């Protein structure tokens, strides 16, 4: 009898706790549904229409997708985006890791250096881009003035088809370096000191310790940075819009830049939604591939 | 107890979110005083968006809005600004799409076809026909504000682009400083001779050509007997005379320092003594240059290129438009009339370097600054601005700059680049 009552009470308490938990989660889920899921479904819907923000909103089937397949400007923006990802993702993670390892040591002034590297990350991207616009100015910019004073060539940076994208990528690496450094720094604090001591006793050099202890222990953190960094770099827009507006000759236009132009300048919201769907698809694909790779590496370790 | 508190907090958050989502914000212009209780004119808020962020323009409108408030104390005008070009268009697109359209818009002529065609601008024929000052407005400018036979905009600031040159640099290069180049060959010769190079790098442009500029190519094409669009709205960039103009500009580009429209609109190379010849699109900047360096006034000349006897200029014009979705059409019209009354038009060119739109003020306009306003009046008389075609904005901001860059960077010949441009545009239109 007592056992039955106790069991009933236990179930009642558990149900009550479950309801409370869902109530706690409810605001977050409601916000997610309203501001993320619903817009995604709307985007998919509008990708099958000729919606122009005002008058037209007719269902046109797959016409937008067929148009996208023939759109040379979209193809170029896709290639540019992949190029941008390659130029930014690896450097900001690798350099961020190296900086984190350096500033994890008891260096004089390390807090100052950490702050210096992190401050660009909290600066508004638009403000940062305006400053780099002045730095990159081929006539009066600080960068060319410095190069000129050293007798080096002074390229036209943002006006050069070969240099424009690397210049844009550099500003992104400069900005996000601090964030990557901070995340890795936090992860480094969690690596047991004993591992390094044991390695030292065994005669392992600093470099060997870095590759055999630090990197494997940082794997979950690096995986997180790769996944979030991939999503972020695929969605680059502000720097491109301010520094080059996609030029010269569309060598810096990216997928999101094209989506923005088609939607808000060309009255082609339906087509812009099509490009958005494709962007979501590729971002999910690459993220899934990252997860698969990470699982494979974990399995190898096991 | 903790569970109760947590449940109450979560429930309160959910309810407040739902209520805030259900509530509707007051519509633009709604009176905050219930009409049954109002004993005087109801409070009205007008939303006014203007293109351009120059301090001079801003000051002009701040003064104007303050004066308007004295005349109409019940009308509050909220002004917003955005840079001309892509930014103002995107701001307006979002405003119209979200149902928060402004009541009055100050923007360039190039918007008329796209927006009037989409029913975003309200026709103002009825208002203008009853306006006692209609007869004093310059007819050519009144006509300019029409689209498909209806009047949508009132010109308030004709602002042509002027091609200027430095007489001192001409003198230095052995050219006659008082003889402005007229033919294309003379212009190219002057640009090449006044260009300066140091260690293989151009340190002073012969003629500054922004890589994304389209005004110069369209102007030269028109002088040459062609245009970007023909009368039926068909893209004619593959016309041989248009291609000729592009080839000529490519030669001029070889004398230029890398620059773009954003730089030229705010800090033109000409103002930094870094170009001998330039197309100044922002005349208040030229006025500011002369004000800050009065010794330059005698060293600046004006060029009106010609082919045979045909000359031309880029004659942009800013208009006041009334938006179709706006609720307060009568009040919007009163504000537009106020901006264009004789006193304000006179003040705008005396104090704020604006153009003139009234017949009765033409002589006053020339007297204010004979140096600048004479060429401005000439440019308005021989020039024309954006084609009144729905796709002008898209073509001139995306397709044409790309084609010109392909020519400048020698990726394609002028003919190939412009023919490919037409193909790409028509393909995007589904043709």
Phi, psi (deg, nearest 5) at residue B342 = -60, -45
- A238 in contact with B, Cβ within 8 Å: no
Provide, as residue numbers in chain B, all residues whose Cβ is less than 8 Å from the Cβ of A54. 96-97, 118-120
Give CA separation, B211 vs B123, B194, B259, in Å: 37, 20, 6
With b meaning 16 or more CB within 10 Å and e meaning fewer, what string describes A216-228?
ebbeebbbebbee
Mutate to test the interface with A, among B4, B13, B121, B393 (most CBs of A within 10 A): B13
CA atoms of A32 and A14, how far apart (whole Å) = 26
Phi, psi (deg, nearest 5) at residue B384 = -150, 160
More confident residue, B425 or B25: B425
Residue-level pLDDT at B35: 41
Nearest CA-CA distance, residue B344 and chain A, Å: 33
Nearest CA-CA distance, residue A282 and chain B, Å: 23
**In 3-state terms, what secondary structure has residue B197?**
strand
Q: Locate B346 and state its tokens.
A: 């006179």
Contacts of B357 (CB under 8 A, 6+ apart): B137, B138, B141, B155, B156, B157, B158, B340, B345
Closest by alpha carbon to B304, among B179, B400, B404?
Answer: B179
Q: Locate B122 and state its tokens.
A: 């309200």
Residue-level pLDDT at A301: 52
Q: Locate B312 and state its tokens.
A: 């031309």
Mutate to test the interface with B, among A139, A156, A158 (most CBs of B within 10 A): A139
Give CA separation, B6 vs A13, A20, A159, B360, in Å: 15, 8, 58, 74
Task: Assess: ipTM above 0.85.
Answer: no
CA atoms of B305 and B223, how far apart (whole Å) = 8
List strand residue ranges (DSSP E) for B70-114, in order.
Answer: 75-82, 104-108
Residue-level pLDDT at B28: 37
Residue ranges for chain A with pLDDT beneath 50:
302
CA atoms of A180 and A178, how far apart (whole Å) = 5
Q: Are B131 and B320 in contact (CB under 8 A)?
A: no
pLDDT per position as a tens digit, B22-35: 544 443 333 333 44
Which ranges of B152-214 would DSSP assign to H, the alpha helix? Answer: 167-172, 184-194
CA atoms of B56 and A87, how far apart (whole Å) = 42
pLDDT per position as a tens digit, B271-316: 999 999 999 988 888 888 888 899 999 999 999 999 998 999 998 8
> Across residues B118-134, what is the average pLDDT?
95
Give CA separation, A147 vs A57, A119, A129, B73, B309, in Å: 54, 25, 21, 59, 48
Give CA separation, B296 vs A299, B171, B269, B300, in Å: 76, 14, 15, 6
Contacts of B264 (CB under 8 A, 6+ apart): B208, B210, B213, B278, B281, B282
Residue-level pLDDT at B334: 96
CA atoms of B303 and A120, how far apart (whole Å) = 46
Question: Are A20 and B3 within 8 A, CB to CB?
Answer: yes
Q: Is the pTM of this model over 0.80?
A: yes
Closest by alpha carbon to B160, among B317, B340, B353, B346?
Answer: B317
pLDDT per position as a tens digit, B63-85: 999 999 999 999 999 999 998 87
Nearest CA-CA distance, residue B97 and chain A, Å: 6
CA atoms of A185 and A107, how far apart (whole Å) = 14
Question: Are B212 and A73 within 8 A, CB to CB?
Answer: no
pLDDT per position as a tens digit, B328-361: 999 999 999 999 999 999 999 998 888 899 999 9
- Average per-residue pLDDT for chain B: 89
Residue-level pLDDT at B17: 65
Chain A, chain B: beta-carbon pairs less than 8 Å apart: 92
Nearest CA-CA distance, residue A97 and chain B, Å: 37
Q: Are A223 and A298 in contact (CB under 8 A)?
A: no
Residue-level pLDDT at A1: 64
Residue-level pLDDT at B32: 39
CA atoms of B325 and B323, how far apart (whole Å) = 6
| Minimum-distance CB partner of B257 among A139, A245, A264 | A139
**In 3-state terms, what secondary structure has residue A244?**
coil
Cα-Cα-Cα-Cα dihedral sign, residues B157, B161, B162, B165: positive
> Across residues B233-242, what is the average pLDDT?
96
Residue-level pLDDT at B3: 66
Q: Are B256 and B279 in contact (CB under 8 A)?
A: no
CA atoms of B184 and B241, how far apart (whole Å) = 13
Give CA separation, B279 vs A273, B37, B164, B214, B317, in Å: 39, 58, 6, 11, 16
How sure is the predictor about B37, in pLDDT bands with cuts at 50, 70 and 90?
very low
């Amino acid at each position: 009898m007592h056992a039955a009552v106790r069991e009933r009470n236990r179930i009642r308490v558990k149900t009550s706790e479950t309801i409370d938990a869902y109530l706690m989660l409810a605001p977050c889920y409601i916000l997610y549904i309203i501001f993320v899921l619903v817009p995604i479904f709307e985007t998919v819907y509008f990708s099958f229409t000729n919606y122009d923000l005002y008058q037209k909103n007719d269902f046109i089937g797959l016409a937008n997708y067929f148009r996208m397949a023939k759109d040379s400007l979209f193809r170029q923006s896709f290639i540019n985006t992949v190029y941008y990802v390659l130029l930014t993702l690896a450097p900001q993670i690798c350099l961020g890791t190296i900086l984190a390892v350096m500033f994890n040591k008891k260096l004089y002034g390390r807090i100052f250096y950490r702050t210096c590297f992190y401050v660009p990350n909290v600066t508004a991207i638009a403000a940062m881009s305006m400053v780099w616009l002045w730095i990159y100015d081929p006539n009066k910019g600080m960068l060319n003035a410095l190069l000129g004073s050293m007798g080096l060539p002074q390229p036209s940076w943002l006006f050069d088809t070969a240099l424009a994208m690397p210049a844009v990528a550099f500003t992104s690496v400069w900005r996000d370096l601090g964030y990557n450094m901070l995340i890795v720094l936090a992860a480094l604090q969690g690596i047991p000191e004993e591992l390094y001591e044991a390695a030292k006793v065994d005669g392992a050099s600093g470099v060997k310790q870095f590759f055999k202890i630090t990197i494997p222990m940082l794997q979950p953190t690096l995986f997180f940075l790769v996944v979030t960094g991939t999503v972020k770099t695929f969605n680059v827009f502000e720097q491109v819009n301010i520094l080059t507006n996609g030029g010269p000759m569309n060598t810096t236009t990216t997928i999101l830049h094209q989506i923005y132009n088609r939607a808000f300048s060309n009255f082609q919201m339906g087509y812009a939604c099509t490009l958005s769907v494709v962007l979501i698809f590729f971002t999910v694909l690459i993220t899934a591939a990252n997860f698969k790779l990470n699982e494979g590496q974990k399995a190898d370790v096991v | 107890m903790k569970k109760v508190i947590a449940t109450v907090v979560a429930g309160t958050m959910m309810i407040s979110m739902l209520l805030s989502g259900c509530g509707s914000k007051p519509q633009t212009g709604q009176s905050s005083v219930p009409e049954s209780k109002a004993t005087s004119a109801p409070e009205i808020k007008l939303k006014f968006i203007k293109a351009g962020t120059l301090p001079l323009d801003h000051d002009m409108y701040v003064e104007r809005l303050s004066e308007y408030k004295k005349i109409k104390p019940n009308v509050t005008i909220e002004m917003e600004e955005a840079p001309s070009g892509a930014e103002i268009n995107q701001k307006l697109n979002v405003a119209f799409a979200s149902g928060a359209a402004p009541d009055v818009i100050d923007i360039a002529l190039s918007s008329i076809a796209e927006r009037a065609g989409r029913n975003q601008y309200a026709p103002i024929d009825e208002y203008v026909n009853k306006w006692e000052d209609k007869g004093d407005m310059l007819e050519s400018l009144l006509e300019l504000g029409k689209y498909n036979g209806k009047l949508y905009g009132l010109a308030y600031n004709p602002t042509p682009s002027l091609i200027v040159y430095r007489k001192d640099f001409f003198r230095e290069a052995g050219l006659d400083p008082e003889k402005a180049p007229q033919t294309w060959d003379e212009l190219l010769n002057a640009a090449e001779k006044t260009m300066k190079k140091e260690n293989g790098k151009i340190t002073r442009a012969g003629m500054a050509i922004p890589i994304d500029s389209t005004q110069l190519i369209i102007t030269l094409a028109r002088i040459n007997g062609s245009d970007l669009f023909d009368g039926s709205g068909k893209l004619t960039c593959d016309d041989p005379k248009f291609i000729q103009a592009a080839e000529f500009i490519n030669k001029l580009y070889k004398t230029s320092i890398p620059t773009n429209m954003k730089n030229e609109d705010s800090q033109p190379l000409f103002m930094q003594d870094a170009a001998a010849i330039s197309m100044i699109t922002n005349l208040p900047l030229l006025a500011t240059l002369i004000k800050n360096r009065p010794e330059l006034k005698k060293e600046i000349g004006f060029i009106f290129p010609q082919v045979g006897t045909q000359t031309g200029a880029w004659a942009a014009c800013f208009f006041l438009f009334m938006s179709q979705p706006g609720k307060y059409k009568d009040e919007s019209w009163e504000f537009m009339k106020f901006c264009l009354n004789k006193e304000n038009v006179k003040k705008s060119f005396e104090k704020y370097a604006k153009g003139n739109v009234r017949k009765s003020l033409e002589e006053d306009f020339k007297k204010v600054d004979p140096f600048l306003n004479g060429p401005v009046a000439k440019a308005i008389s021989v020039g024309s601005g954006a084609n009144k075609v729905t796709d002008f904005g898209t073509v001139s901001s995306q397709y044409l700059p790309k084609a010109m860059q392909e020519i400048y960077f020698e990726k394609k010949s002028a003919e190939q680049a412009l023919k490919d441009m037409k193909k790409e545009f028509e393909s995007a239109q589904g043709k």
